[in-house]
Every structure is written in C-alpha cells, then in structure tokens.
Structure 1
Amino acid sequence: MTTMWGKMYDLRAPYNVRGGEITCLRVVRGFTRESWQKDTITDCPPRACSTCPRCPRPTLFRKCYDRGEFPMLLDQNSSGKLICWKVPPENLDYHHYLPLFFEGLREIEHPYAFFSRQGIHDLLVHGCDKVLPVVPHLIAPIREALNTRCPQILRVTLHALQQLVVSAPKVGEALVPYYRQMLPVLNIFRNKNLNLGDEIEYGQYKRENIGDLIQETLELLERYGGEDAFINIKYMIPTYESVVLN
C-alpha cells in the first residue's frame, strides 16, 4: 500500500494516470462488452494445458478384479511375478475379457496395473485369429487411456498398442479408420523429448521416452496399416515422414 495525494493505493493492481489522478483499472474478460469500457483491462486468456495430466476415471477392470471375475492368480517365484491362468488364455471369450484388460491400462496402482498389462500381453500372444474381431471394442479404452496425458499411462498404452498391431494379421489395417480418435494426443506429445545436452538419456535404453515410443508406434502403424495408413497418419500428424516410401 502507498499514499499519493492523500489516497491509499495498492501497487500490485494496474492503475491509470490521468491529469494527476490515479484510477484503478478493473480486470474484465476479453471479447466482451465490458472490455470496451473505460478504466478496464482485459484478463489474460487461460492456459490450454494440453500436456497436463488428467485424473483417470474409475475403471470397470478394478471392479471386476475386486469381485474375482478374472480366472487368474498371482504367481511369485524366483524368476519374478507371473500370472497363473486357471483357464488357458486361448479358450477365453476375447469379446468380454480383452476390452476389460485394455480398460485397465488407466490403472497405476498395484495389483491392478500389473494384472492388466500382463493380461494384455498373454491374451495377445495366444489370441491369433480372435484378436481381429475385437479391435473395434478396443478403441474406446485406448482413447481414454491416451487422453489422461499421464506419462506413465501413455508409456504402457503405447507398448500395448505396438503389441496389438503385430499380434495378428490385418489388425493394423483394421486400426486405420480409428486414427482420428487415437492420433491427436500422439501429435501433442510427439516432440516431447528431454534435451540433456551431453548427458545420457537412460529412458531411451529402457524404452520410456515418450517421443521415441510415439515415433516407433507411428512407424508400426504405417508398416502394418496398408496403403492408406500413411495418408491418414499424415492428415492427423502433418510433420510425420514416411519410413516406407523413403
């Protein structure tokens, strides 16, 4: 607070000086009628926060796991943690279980995160021809996982998407119509790499660098997506360059 001409003013607020008199400027929203009034100043526009993490919604995978609906157990041995299936994965109903496991990609707590990721791996390895008919039901869980913008969830989702593309024939071609739902978030994080100068980026060795994972995923989508894959990727990510045509 300061005193000038017998009046008290706060120096932290914007002021206007007219003929030796100080008047306080009122902060208003931009592009409104109030912004044309005297002694007003427009407020700064809000930040887009396109890369800020967003809280994931509760998943159906957690509810099903808590109710014991999955035919699997946790097996701990000298080699580490593994899933012990009560029923062979190839005998399961993929239309029911595979979308549930993909919805579990948004989980970051143990044991839900471990069971969802390992379950996706086992089902895609043993799925063969059962994976292709379920692809349309996997788009919504993948899109919701990517829209969280959480780095940890983005990494596991990209790994799962890469394994999905190569899991069975024609799966990559079946994903082409859904590029508009999956690729916008990848376009935001495509150049999100750390500039460490002469230091070592250990995330590249562990395959945890989001920018590199997105580039690998786009290349797999182009290679396995058929002749229309590059055009659709280029439409959503204009800076992407083909690895097949070049």
Structure 2
Amino acid sequence: MAKSTKPSNKLSDRLNPKTVNQFGKSQSSFGQLYNNGAIPCKLSHGSVNHRLVWNESPESLSYDPLLVHFAEGLVETQHPYTFITKAAFIELCEIPGSVDKVLPLLTRLIPHIKLALMSKDKEVVKGAFEAVQALSNSIKSHLNPHLKLILAPFAKWSNNAATRDLVLSTLHILEEHGHKEAYQQIKKKIPTYTSICG
C-alpha cells in the first residue's frame, strides 16, 4: 500500500514547521549564507512562539553587511528564512543607537525593501511593511529622501483587504517621523491618504 502524502495534522508539525532543505532553492543569497553559518542567529522553536537566538549580543554586531543580508532576505518565502530575515531586521533596527549603524547602509537597504514590497506574496509584503516601520522608527526623518523609491507599491496594497491596515499604520509611522515632508510625498503617491495631524 502506497504511503500517504497528505500533510500531517500533528500538533508538533504545526508548531514546528519543517525547515527548508539546505540544498533547496532560495529566493536570495540569504539562504546560502544562513546554511553556511554566516548569519549569527538562528530560529528557536517555542511551544507557542518562535524567537531568534543570537550567537552574540546583537548590540555588538557590525551591521555592514549583516543588515543588508537581512534586507535582501525579506523576499524569502521558505521557512525559516521568512521568520529570521524579518525578525532580525526589526530587532537590529530597534536597538538603541541603531541609527548610527543604519544610516550608512540606507542606499543598500532601500532596493531590497522595494523589491520585497513589490512581491506577489502577501506574507513577503507584510514583512516588508513591518521592516519599513522598524526602519522609520530607527532613523526617523532621515528616511524622507528615500520615500519616493518605496512608496509606489503602497498604493496597490492599500486597496487589498489583507494588507490595508498594515499599509495605513506604516504610512502613519512615516508621517509621524518624517513630518510635513513625508506627508507631502505620501500624498503625491496616495492622494486618498489622510494626515494623522488632521
């Protein structure tokens, strides 16, 4: 009798999804870097939530090129890459004083974030919006000169029920930190946007 290929419904399989084949196809170079041990963190499977475990304190890490690798990996669609790239990018941006490490990398980060925002995969896009929020929270108005490069996909996803609220919350964060200049850029790309300043 042939063995069933039906997906498992075991609780352990749902809580701990199968990780990718080390030799499986990755959407970016991140997968190869991770499998070669070049990424200083790993996924820890919890009973309810997953979390990152770093090999050393993330505060002590050089962001160049580590943060760029995580930004590039935002387009990944396979587990554990999807979780690791987004969570690590956000964690590094949330570290106090991260602005000094992030700013020199902006021109290298933005193209990867834009690519993730243009994905057809909703989960990739959601991760990209969360990364934009983290970036804005870190560098504040320093993101303004780069907004025109990433705002175009916002209009498309603002009309999608699955992403509408996330788009709006991201725009609010961009305006909050970028003030009038950010609002003007947002309004050009998304005329229906209403300012949080009233």
What is the 5 A alignment of 1:26-65? Answer: 58-65=27-34
**Is residue 172–residue 226 contact of structure 1 (8 Å, CA) maintained in 2?**
no
SS at match of 1:241: coil
Could you list the per-position Cα deviations for residues 84-134 of structure 1 after superposition, in whole angstroms to 9, with x for gaps in the alignment?
211211111112100111111111211111221221132122252322332
In the alignment, the residues of structure 1 paired with residue 48 and residue 55 of structure 2 have an alpha-carbon distance, to the nearest angstrom, of 20
Say if 2:89 is the partner of 1:120: yes
Does residue 172 of the first structure (1) align with residue 140 of the second (2)? yes
Structure 1 position 192 matched with structure 2 position 145: no
Alpha carbons of structure 1 residues 145 and 180: separation in structure 2 relative to 1, 3 Å? same
Tell me by how many angstroms 1:69 deviates: 0.5
| Post-superposition CA distance 1:17-75 (Å, at most 9, x none) | xxxxxxxxxxxxxxxxxxxxxxxxxxxxxxxxxxxxxxxx8312112112110122333
- Answer yes or no: is the 8 Å Cα contact 2:116–2:128 preserved in 1: yes
Distance between the aligned counterparts of 1:73 and 1:237, measured in 2?
Answer: 38
Q: Which runs of 5+ in 1 are unaligned?
A: 1-56, 194-208
Tell me, which stretches of 5 or more residues in structure 2 are unaligned?
Answer: 1-25
Determine whether 1:237 maps to 2:190. yes
Q: Tell me, yes or no, if structure 1 residue 130 matches structure 2 residue 98.
A: no
* Structure 2 Cα separation of the partners of residues 81 and 190 of structure 1: 29
State the match for 1:4 in structure 2.
none
The Cα offsets for residues 206-246 of structure 1, whole Å up to 9 and x where unpaired, read as xxx301111111111111013311111111212212111x1
Query: Secondary structure, in 3 states, of the residue corresponding to 1:131?
Result: helix
Partner of 1:68: 37
Report sequence identity in percent: 32
User: Residue in 1 aligned with 2:132?
Assistant: 161
Cα-Cα RMSD: 1.9
CA 1:112–1:230: 2 relative to 1, 3 Å? same
Q: How many residues align?
A: 171
More strand by percentage: 1
Q: CA shift at 1:83, angstroms?
A: 2.1
Q: Tell me the TM-score normalised to structure 2 length.
A: 0.78
- Residues 44 and 50 in structure 2, CA contact (< 8 A), matched pair in contact too: yes
Amino acid at match of 2:123: Q
